Amino acid sequence: MDKRELRIDYFIWRGSFPSGYENLCRKAIQASGKAYSVYSEFSVGAAVLLANGEMVSGNNQENVAYPSGICAERTALFYAGATFPGVSVEALAIAACFEGKLCEKAVSPCGACRQVMSEMIRRYKQDFDVIMVGGKETVVVKASDLLPFSFAI
């Protein structure tokens, strides 16, 4: 039997947005303001930076039949894939607001969104930064580190 260990590096920014990603972070916060989150009242925004310099954003879109809704991250990533197929993802910023205020704690993407991120890495053969924006601190981590043992065929 072999024992293996996984460790990840992540970076915490306090008092400023991660350098180079200031606009992307602002765009994610802005996008949260347009979420359709009437059931949870938890408004999430996501912004994707693409290799061609374009930024696209999305937010959570809820539904009275709960599973029919979708998270901000997947809205933004699928929008990027639909609008700029073939252009790789450089970074994804996520921000969440509750009662109109940016959440203090950085929001961490759900498992389904992580699987979609891992598909982006597979599709473009390129890893990217995930920036979780919080009111108190912002966390930066590589997408590939968010879902070890992701499904792959």
Residues binding ligand THU (CB under 6 A):
37, 40, 42, 44, 60, 62, 69, 71-73, 107, 109-110, 113
Spot the catalytic one: 5, 22, 62, 73: 73
Specify the residue, 47 or 71, whose C-beta has the smaller distance to ligand THU.
Answer: 71
Residue 73 among the catalytic residues: yes
Least separation in angstroms between residue 110's CB and ligand THU is 5
Least distance from C-beta 106 to ligand THU, angstroms? 10
Residues β-bridged to residue 47 = 57, 93
Pick from 114, 117, 91, 95: which is nearest to 105 by CA? 95
Which of 141, 151, 134, 136 is closest to 92 using CA atoms? 141
Rounded CA-CA distance 51/47 in Å is 13
Query: Which is closer to ligand THU, CB of 52 or CB of 136?
Result: 136
Minimum gap (Å) between residue 46 Cβ and ligand THU: 7
Query: Which residue's CB is nearer to ligand THU, number 67 or number 85?
Result: 67
CA pair distance 47, 113, nearest whole angstrom: 14
Q: Contact 10/141 with Cβ under 8 angstroms? A: yes
Active site residues: 73
